[in-house]
Chain A
Amino acid sequence: MIPRPKPQKDRLRRTMMFMNAQKPGLIKDAYIYGCDSIMLDLEDAVAENQKDSARFSLYHALKTIDYGDTEVIVRINGLDTPHWQEDIRVCVAGGADGIRIAKCESAQDVITVEKAVEAAEEEFGVEKGRTLLMAALESPKGILNAYEICAASDRMLGVAISGGDFRKCMQTKPTRDGIDMVTARGMMLIAARAAGVQCFDTVFTDLDDEEGFRAEVQQNKAMGFDGKSLINPKQIRYVHEVFAPTEKEIIQAEQMVSAFRENAAKGLGVFTVNGKMVDIAFIPGAERTLRLAKACGLYEGDLV
């Protein structure tokens, strides 16, 4: 068994790459592509009569493959299926970092999953609270309940919108400027920030439309998303490029964090950096910028 570090709720998640948990060739070393998280799928990618074999493949992958720093999340089947309880047992027994709740519509859905996770942690002797949760919002109801979902459990790391199902409900198609989903994305972002969890955008499925993909990633960054779900490794590099902080942002963040630490030691809570007032409220953001910069290979200092 490969011991994995305890999952971190607020780690970097610029890219979450989906792959079919049933395909050993895909999941054996998906970390080589450099995405922040991989999303092993037990749900839509797996045919109804293959759910068991996908779970076996998933369990053994989790037990034998060293995914290193790459976060391993599993998308389980919906709560309206006969599969989700067994999915959760396999995730917890295998030591997955997190579980993505498909088609989540209410806080109660999160609580239902959380109870099953807790029971599984008990059953398999896994540290209580280790397994993180995230929710996929796939319906108008899910979007309207986004805040209560985000705030439903301490295990919640974030929410993601699922474009395919959501557009179906809304009777819209993907548009170039994203107008079809802009309201939903905005509502979900506000809810996630209010609850203090992360927020991820949906996949972009037309692999040949590079221009469209780039436009969507830029919009994601501008709207304040933490990251994006992906379906192909070739999408990773561009997302990382767009989500990387600029040199100016990095320098500013570095100055803020070091000034804060120096001043805190002196007992000062408010001070100025380059003429701008800075207090503790700025620091998590600045630290996040530095962590991002470090992950992007743009910052080599030791403040984070």
Chain B
Amino acid sequence: MKNAVGRDIPEELLVNGKEVYQGKNYLDGKYIQKAGPKTRRYEKPQESKIVDSLAQALRDCGAKSGMTFSFHHHLRDGDYVVNMVMKAAIEELGLEDLTIAATSLGSAHDPIADYIEQGKVVGIQTSGIRGRMGEVVSAGKLKTPAIIRSHGGRPRAIEAGEVHIDIAFVAAPTSDCVGNCRGIGGKSDCGSMGYAMTDAKFADHVVVVTDCLVDFPNYPASVEAIDVDAVVVVDSIGNPKKIASAAARISQNPRDLMMAEDVARVIASTPYFKEGFSFQTGVGGPSLAANLFLEKLMDERNIKMGWAIGGICGPMVELLKKGKVGKVIDVQDFDLDAVHSINQTPNHFEMSASQYANPANKGAFVNKLDFVVLAALEIDTDFNVNVLTGSDGVLRGAPGGHPDTAAGSKVCIIVTPLTRGRMATVCEHVVTVTTPGDCVDVLVTDYGIAVNPLRPDLIECLDKAGIKHVTIESLKEKAYSLVGRPDDLQWEDKVVAVLEARDGTILDVVRKIKPYKL
């Protein structure tokens, strides 16, 4: 069945009430029954929950074949925990048919590709999938289609019982002996632990994995002992160099700077750019640089930002410290400046993924967002964005909070160069729709700005401010005139990944890629 973004969704996926994407806010006002975990009572006073090994923790939590284990990605490409746990489960306990439900996965998890090929891991639910894992899933080697969800879609699915987590593993930079966890104070600090919070509340069992045991009580805790079954102390939970970069530096690339300045000018042309406005931006070159130009415009107009959310890095912390933003609320930290600031700098707070972006709760931050600035691998003439699959159709990206912030914000700006190498970024049809075009308002490229015709109000704002803009079709034609029009990708029928919209409907599917023959 074709959905609202024109993607053909196979009927066999539309079972148990699953629907195709119908447009944004389709399920607004509907009631859901939240699922509760089945958890063990710890009535008798307990000195410590520390167990000797991951294998022991798995046995204590009743680990068996067919279970779903959850992970969070605050240790980013430095994470050791996913591989460690899966090795213990598969190689020590001999478990099979396991599903990994992670908030995101990256190239740090290449070894999991082997378990997929061996048929030990049969399900993947994640926001991001990259590296070898992306390749083996795209090659059709995972037994069931991977399920890709946004950061808001995941807590929604967990709360609705669509994902049942048997054991949640919390990678904790510090923990005490009963499992109060924090993201700072250890040797592998990550700052916010926002993505682990919903998992810990809704999993049947929770195992904390830490490399820095601290005195009880480790407070204020991000994940609390009341939800934790076992604590495992290991030598190292991750490579600090890959967890957080020293400091996210603002790009000096003139192309990035030009686009960033245009982003800031677009923002300043709208009526939402006023005292107390709210903002989120990414850490990519032009997105991050937008901070710089926005600050100048804020100074010129003598206004301050009310609050900022998102993955946070140094430049935003800097604005907070200068008093130019009122509050920063943070689900993940990208550099050491942000890691060392959360819960330390006044008005820099932590939040859960659900608070951040869940479309089914009653007050997600994204719904109050004025502006979000996001990147894209591809964007098509309907303003649909792809941040998941590469130009070869292989899984190598992550929707993350992209669809959530785009849907919730008043102005969603996509910033991307028109071409990357030989690939047209602005194209006729994106390989995979990860953020539907009805949530995307403005596209800023190095070759011009385009406004979604669904937003005549923004077109008027840009015209009034004298900001030139063109149609997205003309940008697409320019891109093709520079790098050529690519041939269509060749797919097999087999669906290797299902892309869920944040509300749980099906936005798109990724099929097995047909090997290319010359």
Given A32-B446, A32-B447; A297-B258 close (CB under 8 Å): no
Kindly identify, within residues 199 to 232 of chain A, every residue whose CB is under 8 Å from any CB belonging to chain B. Answer: 232
Is A234 on the interface with B (CB-CB < 8 A)? yes
A33 and B466 alpha carbons, distance in the complex (Å): 17
A297 and B468 alpha carbons, distance in the complex (Å): 9
Contacts of B271 in A (CB 8 A): none
20 CB < 8 A contacts A-B: A29-B446, A29-B447, A29-B482, A32-B255, A32-B258, A32-B446, A32-B447, A33-B254, A33-B258, A232-B254, A233-B254, A233-B255, A233-B257, A233-B258, A234-B254, A234-B257, A234-B258, A237-B261, A297-B466, A297-B468
Kindly identify, within residues 423 to 467 of chain B, every residue whose CB is under 8 Å from any CB belonging to chain A. Answer: 446-447, 466
How near does chain A come to B63, taking the closest CB pair, in angstroms? 52
Contacts of A32 in B (CB 8 A): 255, 258, 446-447
Contacts of B255 in A (CB 8 A): 32, 233
As a 0/1 sequence over residues 480 to 494 of chain B, the CB contacts with chain A under 8 angstroms (1 = contact) are 001000000000000
A297 and B464 alpha carbons, distance in the complex (Å): 12
Contacts of A233 in B (CB 8 A): 254-255, 257-258
The 3 closest A-B pairs by CB, nearest first: A233-B254, A32-B446, A297-B466
How near does chain A come to B149, taking the closest CB pair, in angstroms? 37
- Number of interface residues, chain A, beta carbon within 8 A: 8
- Number of interface residues, chain B, beta carbon within 8 A: 10
A247 and B209 alpha carbons, distance in the complex (Å): 66
A29 and B482 alpha carbons, distance in the complex (Å): 10
Q: Chain A: interface secondary structure?
A: helix
Q: Which of A29, A232, A237, A297 has the most CB atoms of chain B within a 10 A radius of its CB? A: A29
A232 and B446 alpha carbons, distance in the complex (Å): 15
Residue of B nearest to A298 (CB): B466
A237 and B482 alpha carbons, distance in the complex (Å): 26
A41 and B446 alpha carbons, distance in the complex (Å): 23
As a 0/1 sequence over residues 283 to 304 of chain A, the CB contacts with chain B under 8 angstroms (1 = contact) are 0000000000000010000000
Contacts of A297 in B (CB 8 A): 466, 468
A232 and B255 alpha carbons, distance in the complex (Å): 11
Contacts of B254 in A (CB 8 A): 33, 232-234
How near does chain B come to A250, taking the closest CB pair, in angstroms? 14
A237 and B260 alpha carbons, distance in the complex (Å): 14
A29 and B447 alpha carbons, distance in the complex (Å): 9
Contacts of B466 in A (CB 8 A): 297
Residue of A nearest to B481 (CB): A66
A233 and B446 alpha carbons, distance in the complex (Å): 12
Contacts of A29 in B (CB 8 A): 446-447, 482
A233 and B262 alpha carbons, distance in the complex (Å): 14
A234 and B468 alpha carbons, distance in the complex (Å): 18
How near does chain B come to A148, taking the closest CB pair, in angstroms? 38
Q: Which of A32, A33, A232, A234 has the most CB atoms of chain B within a 10 A radius of its CB? A: A32
A32 and B419 alpha carbons, distance in the complex (Å): 13
Contacts of B446 in A (CB 8 A): 29, 32
A233 and B256 alpha carbons, distance in the complex (Å): 11
Kindly identify, within residues 240 to 293 of chain B, every residue whose CB is under 8 Å from any CB belonging to chain A. Answer: 254-255, 257-258, 261
Contacts of B482 in A (CB 8 A): 29
As a 0/1 sequence over residues 230 to 244 of chain A, the CB contacts with chain B under 8 angstroms (1 = contact) are 001110010000000
Kindly identify, within residues 458 to 514 of chain B, every residue whose CB is under 8 Å from any CB belonging to chain A. Answer: 466, 468, 482
How near does chain A come to B17, taking the closest CB pair, in angstroms? 49
Given A33-B254, A233-B255, A237-B261, 9 additional A-B pairs, CB 8 A: A29-B447, A29-B482, A32-B255, A32-B258, A33-B258, A232-B254, A234-B254, A297-B466, A297-B468
Contacts of B257 in A (CB 8 A): 233-234
Q: Which of B258, B466, B468 has the most CB atoms of chain A within a 10 A radius of its CB? A: B258
Kindly identify, within residues 98 to 144 of chain A, every residue whose CB is under 8 Å from any CB belonging to chain B. Answer: none
Residue of A nearest to B482 (CB): A29
Contacts of B447 in A (CB 8 A): 29, 32
As a 0/1 sequence over residues 32 to 52 of chain A, the CB contacts with chain B under 8 angstroms (1 = contact) are 110000000000000000000
A237 and B446 alpha carbons, distance in the complex (Å): 15
Q: Which of B254, B258, B466 has the most CB atoms of chain A within a 10 A radius of its CB? A: B254
How near does chain A come to B182, taking the closest CB pair, in angstroms? 39
A2 and B255 alpha carbons, distance in the complex (Å): 24
A233 and B261 alpha carbons, distance in the complex (Å): 12
A297 and B254 alpha carbons, distance in the complex (Å): 22
Residue of B nearest to A33 (CB): B258
Contacts of A234 in B (CB 8 A): 254, 257-258
A32 and B261 alpha carbons, distance in the complex (Å): 14
Contacts of B468 in A (CB 8 A): 297
